[in-house]
Amino acid sequence: MQLVVNGNVIDLEGEGILNVRPGEEEVYVRQAVGQVLAREYALQQNFPNPFNPSTTIQYSLPQAGSMSLKVYDMAGQMVRHLVDQHQVAGSHQVVWDGLDKAGAPTANGVYIYELRAGEFRALRKMLLLK
């Protein structure tokens, strides 16, 4: 089963509590039909790219574990921590809305996104054009 919150896909496993913040516009649960487990770590190119106002980042994890997905500006400053949690193996995606960690819109330009999971690390570039 998967929970989709404003385009962010969260794989559900076991039991737990979910807090939905006020303002979440789209929340639903879907069956993960035909989901194929990843054979290796992968970080895909975001789409669309260039983007405005949001973009989707897809990644694959061959095994469950802690992972992190961050966005940096070209000066190396962290702009936003998109994901920082334990996730199940499989394909995942997250939508970045172009906002920084304080919720302010970011400027036009090139940004780097980084996936870290165990010993795996991958970086890709994306372009925000307003």
- 48-94 pLDDT, tens digit per residue, is 999 999 999 999 999 999 999 999 999 999 999 999 999 988 899 99
pTM of the entire structure? 0.72
- DSSP β-bridge partners for residue 56: 47, 95
Task: Provide the pLDDT for residue 53.
Answer: 93
Task: Provide the pLDDT for residue 65.
Answer: 92
Q: Is the pLDDT of residue 43 over 90?
A: yes
Q: Is the pLDDT of residue 32 over 60?
A: no
pLDDT band at 105; cut points 50, 70, 90: very high
Do β-strands 120-128 and 109-117 pair in parallel, antiparallel, or remain unpaired?
A: antiparallel
Q: Is the pLDDT of residue 17 over 80?
A: no
Q: Is the pLDDT of residue 31 over 60?
A: no
CA distance between the termini of the chain: 36
**In CATH, 36-128 is 2.60.40.4070:** yes
9: enclosing H helix or E strand: strand 8-11
Task: Provide the pLDDT for residue 11.
Answer: 72
φ and ψ at residue 46, rounded to 5 degrees: -65, 160
Task: Provide the pLDDT for residue 7.
Answer: 67
Task: Please state, for a pLDDT cut of 70, what percent of the chain lies above it.
Answer: 82
Task: Provide the pLDDT for residue 1.
Answer: 64
Cα 30 to chain centroid, rounded: 18
Within 11-60, where are the H helices?
Answer: none
98: left (phi over 0), alpha (psi -120 to 50) or beta: left
Residue 73: helix, strand or coil by DSSP? strand
108: left (phi over 0), alpha (psi -120 to 50) or beta: beta
